[in-house]
Structure 1
Amino acid sequence: MSSHHNVHILQNKQRILAVRSAPPRFNMRTCVAVIIILLLATGVRFHQLGAQSLWNDEGNSYVQAIRSFGDIADHAGRDIHPPGYYWALAAWRLPIGQTEFALRALSAFAGVLTVAFVFALGKRLRGQIAAIAAAMFVALNTFSIFYAQETRMYSLLALWAVASMWALTGFVYYRSHRWALALALCNLAGLWTQYVYPLVMVAQGVMIVGWLLSHWRGADRQSVITLLRLYLLANGISIVLYLPWLPTALRQVTTWPNTGEPIALADAADVLLAWFTYGNTTQVTTFSTTAYLPAIMLLAAGLFIWPRHQASPSSLPRWWRTLLPIVWLVSMVGVFLALELFRFANLKLLLPAQAAFALWMGIGFGGLWSAYRDETRRWAGRIIALIAAIWLTVHLVAGLSPLYKDPRLQRADYRGIVSQITSHLQPGDAIILDAPNQEEVFRYYYAADAPVFPLPRGLGGDDAATETDVRNIIAEFDRAWAVLWGEDERDPNRVVETTFNEATFEVSSQWFGDVRLVRYVMPVALEDRVDSQTRFGDAIILQSYALNHADAAPGDVLQIQLDWMTEAPLDTRYKVFVQLLDEDGFLVAQRDREPGSGLALTTTWQPGTTVTDRHGLLLPETLPPGTYQLIVGLYDIDNPAERLPVNEDNFLPLATITIP
């Protein structure tokens, strides 16, 4: 090799080093824009952070956080999440506290840092303008905000993913041990945070291979070898420090059951576009197809429009910077689709992919902003970019109100459940949690003395043992409160609820989000059974009924047993109403429920078969002395005004109740 050629290589190296050591341009307007975006990200993530109750999974996080580090790892070994987030939450809880706000603040803080890293990464990929747009698309996305307000690991997962991609670009640019270490630490933290994180590392590997192949035939092959060696070293550090947990991770990932139905492939693109563009509030808000056109346009611009100037150093080729968020997005989504993991319960695991999507849109915005030399085309591109960004921002802001206020997006209200129970708790009450994995969040709020029974025991599956446990509770206690959630997984045959319905009287049933609180009273000796044989409508017959009312008093529960039969199959679902009327015919107490507490729907009745239907009617504490009439009837569930005729009326009197 000639000395002239060696001098040329040396000069090239010196120029590259000079560029790398130059401080990045960061003007005042950019600084102000970034501060505003970070303040917005902080505001929307910390707004009403403690307003909602902790829900089931958050209760599990809380209980994990109050354990020792060793116990955290032991319990995480039986879960579908590694212990990293729980360790972080345990350390966070000590100085910050354990209120709902304090516990969720770790995720909110991680969410704000994610926005900051999105800007930093976007700046490296396509410059400050693209970075500002990408950061805004994450800051106001309700998918990102929702999980930044939850005491779970998903916000931290997104943070480590974006931070590692930022470290990857720094590593490829500087090719130094310091950046290799930063990449190793970010990946290590991600591995210990969530089992889906290796998909981020797969995307990194694809980008490294692409860079190596494109540079292998260049003049500075030694630099390529150095980068490969450092990359392998960085990943080796991450994997070696994760090895103690790897057998547990493999066992849990390969044996943990999937929940929910996969989203159809035909619907997957629509769901992704909606959630990644605007957020999970698209479940409860209706946007026209045109609302997504700006996002599609920015994605196309990010792929096909290139800036006229280098926005980043030449050691990061334009194709590499353009493809990084795309490869990242495709790696995660593609695996989810291939393994049929793409279901609503798992969408939270794609939170890092939302950041990649936002970066892709940001790159498109940056391309439109600075791609053209001609002044007319340049201004046209900027106007189009601004219209797209404003359109997206307006719709993003529109999603904030339902995020905080729409009941369909609210978490299960265990705080309200416990308040309802404790305000009516009496000696002789028992509390049943069906399924038992509610215990952690329930005990976060519960401090009373009534015993709590998580059922079924363990992971369930032994229906006979569960029924025995329920019947023992019925025999020992006077009343029971059942908190029903997750029965499909732990109690799929609904043994707990069915046994209570067969052996006790349901007094009330109330929904708190997707959790149902049911109140039961244990049976007492009913008075003489009345042979009724009363016809309701054309086919339904009330064969007999019995109740207890001899010593009724305010605050008591009337126990009413109705024995129904149909003479023909029924196509209509009917509700049973039991009402207490005063002497003037005014309603003073009421209970409406489908037969069998909703487990014996009229459409399932077999002709000639008796269906026993139990109702508990709570008498108001303020019920004045007097004579009252107890009546029963049936009405169409879809048309409550359509009662079935009974004799010459639309109800049947059962008894006269006297309150002394």
Structure 2
Amino acid sequence: MACKNSVRMRHFITAIVIFLIALLLRLSYINVHSFWVDEAFTVNWCSESLPYMLLRIAREDRHPPLYCMLSYPLLHFAQSEITARFVSAIAGASLVTLIFAIGTELAGIWCGVLSATFVLFHPGAIRFSQEARPYMLYACLTTGACLLWMRAYRTPKWHTLWAMGIISSLSLYACYMAFIPWLARIIAASLLLRLQSNRRIAVLLIYADSFALASLMPYIAFVLMSPHPGASFGLSSLGTWLGISAAFLFNDLSGYEYGLRYSCTGVLVMVLMATAFGILLLIASAWKMRKQGAVSLVIRCWFILHFSLLLFAPLLSTEFNRWQRIIDGLVPVALMLGWIALHPRCKVRRHERILRSDAVASSMSKSVGSNITGTCSVIAQVTLMLLIMLHLLGTYNLLYNPQYSRDDWRGATQWVMQRLQEGDIIILNAPVGSFVFRLYYRGIAPYVETTDLRNPARWNYAAKWLANLLAKHPRVFVITNRVWQTDPHGWLKQQLSSSARLLERWRGSGIMVELYAGKSR
């Protein structure tokens, strides 16, 4: 008993240390970058009253309201980058701790520490832990639900099942993408129904996750009854799905997140695929030799299958880029855990029953063959080394490479306010630019957004609008951001070049400000 308490205390202290390191890393420069457009929506919604905030989210967003509800009191206390992103930072640090817990459950504290290290330094996990959006909250809650699923399977207790149902419900209220891991848990529990001894546990697990889905139904009904429901839950036509998915798939595989060349990421992807294939081969071989033991092994290694589903599911989502970049750090962890769980030389403590027994390990080793097992082991170890180097390189780029900075609306606004004079006007050539601009703007000069310049049929009207502005105001500031969404043909720049003269220009990360004066002045 004393030995077990000592082990638990060591695990608890390690988890606290990992959480504090992760939180420090995520809070250390949380306010370095200014808000960008999506974050501005979050801040704008939270500035409303609570009922009206929920109504606006139902109309305008493609995600449920949990993140805004958690951030609501913080943003009413003080509106800043820190308060808006604080929930994501806590969720990101908690995710690292939960990964440690899952790794420890599977193969001991060493596996937990190594697993947590991957997510701790993963640039995607750090980036989205510093963003006022629900992606890290979703990743944290769904991973917590998965951990509780494992514990409920091992020791079915009512409080564990209730906790799993509640956390699973919260994950669905954080992001609709949580439906995929929810489905993975249902599939895993359905496999348990094939075993007579585990049928009761499987039914309880299905009930717990069914409660989570049922709890989401009232909000879905509320969204559907609202006029112009938010982006129809983020869904659009199949053509848009495939187009955006293909674009972001190429974007991620080309090393966008890490600043790598095509060849480097190509090798990495092949190694990861080979590792996944090796793990699946081991599971399939074990299934053939010992059906009951293999079913148990599949359930115990459901973490791999869970994130394997997540790896392919984003191909049907318009949120592919954010989802994929979060999963980039979790899928390799799942592969590593699978390697440790299936490695025949892995030493497992007797009280950690989540792993396969020594008898299953021995039968797997004999049935699969030492050559295949050894090859899979070598591939997995090479994968681990590549991942460590990749994550460290990506984190370095995230910290020091300006390419990975967010749109610098704060810098642009400060530059404008330092040069404002009486009679000036500001043109925001940016999608919903006023949402972000007014978070930082403290001047008295008016600002306007450009009219729809994507359609050439509107250019005659826009020309009169621009001529009227230049006639009334001696100088015009033009803030340009994401111009492909507002003026893909560059019409505004061409018109200003011919009817006004450029005085100054400022360039920041993802944004540009130009100061013009009429040629007649």
Counterpart CA distance in 1 for 2:245 and 2:213 is 33
1:506 to 495, 498, 502: 502
Please state whether the residue corresponding to 1:483 is helix, strand or coil: strand
8 Å CA contact 2:169, 2:211 repeated in 1: no
Counterpart CA distance in 2 for 1:148 and 1:157 is 11
1:141 to 101, 122, 125: 122
Identify the residue that residue 468 of structure 2 maps to in structure 1.
Answer: 472
Identify the residue that residue 428 of structure 2 maps to in structure 1.
Answer: 433
Structure having the higher strand fraction is: 1
The code of the aligned residue for 1:442 comes to: F
Identify the residue that residue 85 of structure 1 maps to in structure 2.
Answer: 67
Please state whether the residue corresponding to 1:26 is helix, strand or coil: helix
Does the C-alpha gap of structure 1 residues 361 and 382 become closer, same or farther in structure 2, counting only changes over 3 Å? Answer: closer
8 Å CA contact 2:64, 2:174 repeated in 1: yes
Cα deviation, residue 261, structure 1: 5.2
Counterpart CA distance in 1 for 2:252 and 2:211 is 38
Identify the residue that residue 455 of structure 1 maps to in structure 2.
Answer: 450
Identity fraction in percent: 18
Cα deviation, residue 496, structure 1: 3.7
1:404 aligns with 2:399: yes
Does the C-alpha gap of structure 1 residues 300 and 62 become closer, same or farther in structure 2, counting only changes over 3 Å? Answer: same
Matches within 5 A, 1:85-164: 85-95=67-77, 97-164=78-145
Identify the residue that residue 346 of structure 2 maps to in structure 1.
Answer: 370
User: Over aligned residue pairs, what C-alpha RMSD do you find?
Assistant: 4.0
Does the C-alpha gap of structure 1 residues 496 and 112 become closer, same or farther in structure 2, counting only changes over 3 Å? Answer: same
Counterpart CA distance in 1 for 2:320 and 2:135 is 11
8 Å CA contact 2:304, 2:338 repeated in 1: no
Cα deviation, residue 106, structure 1: 2.0
Cα deviation, residue 193, structure 1: 2.2
1:417 to 412, 416, 422: 412
Does the C-alpha gap of structure 1 residues 320 and 496 become closer, same or farther in structure 2, counting only changes over 3 Å? Answer: same
1:68 to 49, 52, 55: 49
Larger radius of gyration: 1
8 Å CA contact 2:107, 2:340 repeated in 1: no
8 Å CA contact 2:477, 2:516 repeated in 1: yes
Counterpart CA distance in 2 for 1:270 and 1:56 is 20
Higher relative contact order (CA closer than 8 Å, sequence separation 6+): 2
**Structure 2 unaligned residues grouped into runs of 5+:** 287-292, 348-360
Matches within 5 A, 1:552-631: none
Cα deviation, residue 111, structure 1: 0.2
Cα deviation, residue 451, structure 1: 0.5
Cα deviation, residue 163, structure 1: 1.5
8 Å CA contact 1:118, 1:135 repeated in 2: yes
Please state whether the residue corresponding to 1:399 is helix, strand or coil: helix
Does the C-alpha gap of structure 1 residues 269 and 469 become closer, same or farther in structure 2, counting only changes over 3 Å? Answer: closer
Identify the residue that residue 280 of structure 1 maps to in structure 2.
Answer: 257
The code of the aligned residue for 1:361 comes to: M
1:239 to 209, 217, 221: 217
Matches within 5 A, 1:292-331: 299=276, 302-303=279-280, 317-322=296-301, 324-331=302-309
Please state whether the residue corresponding to 2:396 is helix, strand or coil: helix
2:168 to 187, 192, 195: 187
TM-score between the two structures when normalised by the length of structure 2: 0.78
The code of the aligned residue for 2:482 comes to: G
8 Å CA contact 1:58, 1:152 repeated in 2: yes
Counterpart CA distance in 2 for 1:423 and 1:27 is 58
8 Å CA contact 1:421, 1:481 repeated in 2: yes
Cα deviation, residue 475, structure 1: 1.8
Cα deviation, residue 437, structure 1: 0.8
Please state whether the residue corresponding to 1:412 is helix, strand or coil: coil
The code of the aligned residue for 2:73 comes to: A
Please state whether the residue corresponding to 2:442 is helix, strand or coil: coil
Identify the residue that residue 356 of structure 2 maps to in structure 1.
Answer: none
Cα deviation, residue 68, structure 1: 1.6
1:359 to 319, 327, 334: 334
Cα deviation, residue 142, structure 1: 0.6
Cα deviation, residue 467, structure 1: 3.7
Cα deviation, residue 422, structure 1: 1.3
The code of the aligned residue for 2:63 comes to: H
8 Å CA contact 2:42, 2:68 repeated in 1: yes
Matches within 5 A, 1:489-500: 489-500=485-496
Cα deviation, residue 253, structure 1: 2.6
Does the C-alpha gap of structure 1 residues 231 and 104 become closer, same or farther in structure 2, counting only changes over 3 Å? Answer: closer
Does the C-alpha gap of structure 1 residues 466 and 292 become closer, same or farther in structure 2, counting only changes over 3 Å? Answer: same
1:496-542 per-position Cα deviation (integer Å, ceiling 9, x unaligned): 444433432233443212222122112317xxxxxxxxxxxxxxxxx
8 Å CA contact 1:479, 1:522 repeated in 2: yes
Cα deviation, residue 136, structure 1: 1.4
Cα deviation, residue 480, structure 1: 0.4
1:276-320 per-position Cα deviation (integer Å, ceiling 9, x unaligned): xxx9224589847666787567646654568x9xxxxx9992211
Identify the residue that residue 168 of structure 1 maps to in structure 2.
Answer: 149
Cα deviation, residue 34, structure 1: 3.7
Does the C-alpha gap of structure 1 residues 489 and 64 become closer, same or farther in structure 2, counting only changes over 3 Å? Answer: same
The code of the aligned residue for 1:281 comes to: Y
Count of residues paired in the alignment? 482
Does the C-alpha gap of structure 1 residues 258 and 501 become closer, same or farther in structure 2, counting only changes over 3 Å? Answer: farther
1:515 aligns with 2:492: no
Structure having the higher helix fraction is: 2
Please state whether the residue corresponding to 1:417 is helix, strand or coil: helix
Counterpart CA distance in 2 for 1:487 and 1:269 is 22
Does the C-alpha gap of structure 1 residues 242 and 122 become closer, same or farther in structure 2, counting only changes over 3 Å? Answer: farther
Please state whether the residue corresponding to 2:235 is helix, strand or coil: helix
8 Å CA contact 1:332, 1:353 repeated in 2: yes
1:334 aligns with 2:315: no
1:565-594 per-position Cα deviation (integer Å, ceiling 9, x unaligned): xxxxxxxxxxxxxxxxxxxxxxxxxxxxxx
8 Å CA contact 1:195, 1:249 repeated in 2: no
Counterpart CA distance in 2 for 1:259 and 1:452 is 35
Does the C-alpha gap of structure 1 residues 73 and 284 become closer, same or farther in structure 2, counting only changes over 3 Å? Answer: farther
Cα deviation, residue 271, structure 1: 3.5
Please state whether the residue corresponding to 1:516 is helix, strand or coil: strand
Please state whether the residue corresponding to 1:197 is helix, strand or coil: helix
Counterpart CA distance in 2 for 1:252 and 1:40 is 36
8 Å CA contact 1:481, 1:518 repeated in 2: yes
Counterpart CA distance in 1 for 2:64 and 2:240 is 17
Cα deviation, residue 85, structure 1: 1.4
Identify the residue that residue 53 of structure 1 maps to in structure 2.
Answer: 34
8 Å CA contact 1:300, 1:364 repeated in 2: no
Please state whether the residue corresponding to 1:251 is helix, strand or coil: helix
